[in-house]
Amino acid sequence: MLNTMRNIGIMAHIDAGKTTTTERILFYTGKIHRIGEIDDGAAAMDWMQQEQDRGITIQSAATTAYWRDHQINIIDTPGHVDFTAEVERSLRVLDGAVAVLCAVGGVQPQTETVWHQADRYHVPRICFVNKMDRVGADFFAALEDVKEKFGCTVMPVEIPIGCAENFEGVIDLITMEEIRWDAESAGEKYTRSPLSDAHRVQAETYREQMLDVVSAFSDTVTELMLEGEEVPAELIKKEIRAAVLKQQYIPFLCGSSRRNIGIQPLIDAIVDYLPAPDEVAPAEGMQVKKDVEISIPCKPDGVPLGLVFKIQYDREAGALCYVRMYSGKVKAGDQIYNVAKKKRERVGRILRMHSNKSEPMESVEAGDIAVFVGLKIAQTGDTLGSEGMPVLLESMQFPEPVISVAIEPKSLSESDKLKETLAILSREDPTFVSREDQETGQLIISGMGELHLDVLTTRMVQDFKVEARIGKPQVTYRESVTQIAEHTEQFSKVLAGKEQTAQLSLKVEPLERGSGNRFTNMVKVAAGGIPQLHSLPESIIEAIEHAVQGAFNSGIQYGYPCVDIGVTLLDAEYDPLTATPFAFEAAAAMGFDEACRKAAPALLEPVMDVDIICPKEFVGDAMSQMTQRGGMVLGMDSKSNADIIHAQAPMAKLFGFSTDLRSVTQGRSSFTMSFSHFEIKKGGLGS
């Protein structure tokens, strides 16, 4: 069973034709009975309302098709850079991938991102050059682009017959036949015919090149070629398969998904060249009890072991946990152990997914992908296994969110609903984070980009029916002083018929940036508890310190917390008949405000450390974006495939930076941001 299973992903840059290609695969394998077009909002794999409205893939969708007695589990991934986590978690559990390239654009920015992600997880792949019917299509230029940008060996197993409006079909270099598709049957019918004289020279040239590549990694093929014998088609396919599994070279096919050309040979190539679950390297995990690394062979009769790689919320069923099984077998109703959470959970139902539709399964075995219903605490990246032999699989790493906005419910009654929705979305999407700002009380949501947050906030309103206001990101400033000042404060009030008085002198001074606030007492503590004129009982000193600490949080001019201020209690006059802790607390609070106003108060803004990872040709544009925002470039590290720019910039100027940086660098740059320090904001709060 395992050798007739394929777990594959379709990956590419946005608009290269991933979903269109997947739709055709489903149609020709009999999974769907009508081809849905993305432009009409009818694609089976783009089932979310927003995907249909926007014409893009947002969530990776899983389905299963059957071809030549093989089961093919397919995951269609998003192409937009904001949804890179969807691609990351899909590639983590796949055994092979189809990289779809645009025949006009070749290797596009997001192609580079997904290619490197596939490299990181050692995913064998084949390439399908799509859109051969478009003006400017060039199959051979796309080949060269992959070879140049990724430094890998490329090998066409097909070449196109014509291109652009003259694109007729493909030539199979293994069988040396011409293949043409029948437009009236939506590409279901196709004919193989012998090579015509018009295409013979070109086909023989590229077949020779193909055999040169195959023979470089195969002694058997080399011997046959040296003896001048014909190399059988089955042997070529067998050697290509072995080389793809070792990632020695990349086979290339071509076609036009929109015009239903070239899809059946692509499905054949998936079966012929991409690995079965037991042909890839065994999963590596940590045996928790012994704290040693072990390999887990893909065997249905082994200890149950699976990885939760995606969670999707369903209004009726709750959390749908997508699980890739690496070992063993799990039946519906079984107890399974969550190794990361150290808790047992019951698998209520097991489903085989087709996009947003499902069919029940009795059990799922090693190598397969299924959905578990009923898991209450599982999260993306959790390992499900056996309590007797707990093994922890390596979890997935996701990039930090780079953009945040404030959100608030339109009414108090919506508050709980909003928090519940945020918890569901955070569990679904590891790159979506929500938190409550301790200083402003605002709910802040963070994501990978403006489109990412726009999609999520639209889901809250449309799918979860939450009424909320979405604000712009807000910076939490700080306040401090820039000079030394002293102030004497007197407090005298009659409260509840009793006079309460206090008098004290305070000094405020700026401290070194980052050193925090400090309170110092220069007044003697009354010996034996008997206060003198210039000494105070301990309870009064505690009241003064409490008032100053509270004032640090209340701000000076704008109400932002104070930082790096030193406050010294210089002197105090104590009248045992009228002095109370309350009076001294009030005097200290008012004295602090007045002293700070004399000490040239300043507004401080947070400055962030920014590291920009950028291709060499866009370094100038990336630096320019940083300096335009009042940032300062501190230095640069040069790597083989990219440069890393180290810079600092005010947080307030970095909103929208993600979009602008991607715009000027064709989406090929990324950046990380972390807090560095506070510095005086020029021009006050309004600037």
Domain with CATH 2.40.30.10 in the chain: 283-393
> For residue 199, what are the contacts with CB-CB under 8 A and spacing of at least 6?
161, 171, 178
Please report the pLDDT score of residue 446 as a whole number. Answer: 78
Q: Which two tokens stand for residue 37?
A: 């077009």
Tracing tokens 């007045």 back to the chain, one arrives at: 594
Report which DSSP code applies to 453.
H
The structure tokens listed for 462 are 């449309």
Ramachandran category for residue 96: left, alpha or beta (phi over 0 → left; psi -120 to 50 → alpha): beta
Q: Tell me the C-alpha distance between 565 and 514, whole Å.
A: 10
Instruction: Yes or no: say if 302 and 327 are a contact pair by the CB < 8 Å rule.
Output: yes
Closest CA to 384 of 344, 434, 339, 440: 339
Contact indicator for 390, 294 with CB cutoff of 8 Å: no
pLDDT < 50: residue spans in the chain: 38-47, 51, 54, 57
Please tell me the distance from the alpha carbon of residue 359 to that of residue 251, in angstroms, as a whole number. 34
Geometric angle at alpha carbon 653, from 651 and 658, rounded to 5°: 90
Fold observed for domain 403-470: Alpha-Beta Plaits (3.30.70)
Cα separation, 551 vs 561, in Å, equals 8
Query: In DSSP terms, which residues pair with 129 in a beta bridge?
Result: 101, 254
- Distance (Å, whole) CA 400 – CA 675: 13
- Residue 503 contacts residue 587 (beta carbons within 8 Å): yes
Q: Which CATH class is domain 283-393?
A: mainly beta
At which residue do the structure tokens 């918890």 appear? 423
Q: What pLDDT score does 51 carry?
A: 46
For residues 193 and 408, what is the distance between their CA atoms, to the nearest angstrom?
65
Distance CA 538, CA 40 (A): 77
Distance in angstroms (rounded) separating the CA atoms of residues 605 and 222: 68
Sign of the Cα pseudo-torsion (625, 626, 631, 635, in order): negative
| CATH 3.40.50.300 domain span(s) along the chain | 2-273
pTM (global) more than 0.85: no
* Element (DSSP H or E) covering residue 458: helix 450-462
CATH class, domain 479-599, is alpha beta
Give the separation between CA 614 and CA 426, rounded to whole angstroms.
Answer: 29
Beta strand residue intervals within 217-281, DSSP E: 250-254
3-state secondary structure at position 43? coil
Would you call 5 helix, strand, or coil by DSSP? Answer: strand
3-state secondary structure of 547: helix
Contact 500, 583 (CB under 8 A): yes
Q: Are 607 and 652 in contact (CB under 8 A)?
A: no
CATH class of 605-680: alpha beta
Q: Classify the C-alpha dihedral 47-52-57-58 as positive or negative.
A: negative
The ranges of the chain annotated as CATH 3.30.230.10 are 479-599
Amino acid letter, 303 = V
Closest by CA to 324, choosing from 357, 362, 371, is 371
Q: CA 596 to CA 509: how far, in whole Å?
A: 8
Kindly list the distances between the CA atom of residue 43 and the CA atoms of 67, 78, 99, 203, 355, in Å, as whole numbers in the listed order: 21, 14, 20, 36, 10
Q: What is the total residue count of the chain? A: 687
DSSP string of 60-76, one letter each residue = -EEEEEEETTEEEEEEE
Residue 146: both structure tokens together? 């992959």
Q: Phi and psi at residue 158, in whole multiples of 5°?
A: -140, 155
Pairwise CA distance, residues 654 & 41, whole Å: 35
Q: Are 217 and 210 in contact (CB under 8 A)?
A: no
Question: Which of 379, 385, 380 lies closest to 330 in space, CA to CA?
Answer: 385
Give Cα 210 to chain centroid, integer Å: 38
pLDDT tens figures, 475-493: 667 899 999 999 999 999 9
Report d(CA 383, CA 92) in Å as an integer: 13
- List, by residue range, all CATH 3.30.70.870 domains of the chain: 403-470
Sheet holding 433-436, edge to edge: 433-436, 443-447, 403-409, 468-470
CATH code at 2-273? 3.40.50.300
Q: Are 430 and 477 in contact (CB under 8 A)?
A: no
Q: Where are the CATH 3.30.70.240 domain residues in the chain?
A: 605-680
- Rounded Cα–Cα distance for residues 572 and 41 (Å): 76
Rounded to an integer, what distance in angstroms lies between the CA atom of residue 459 and that of residue 332?
31
**Largest pairwise CA distance in the chain:** 118
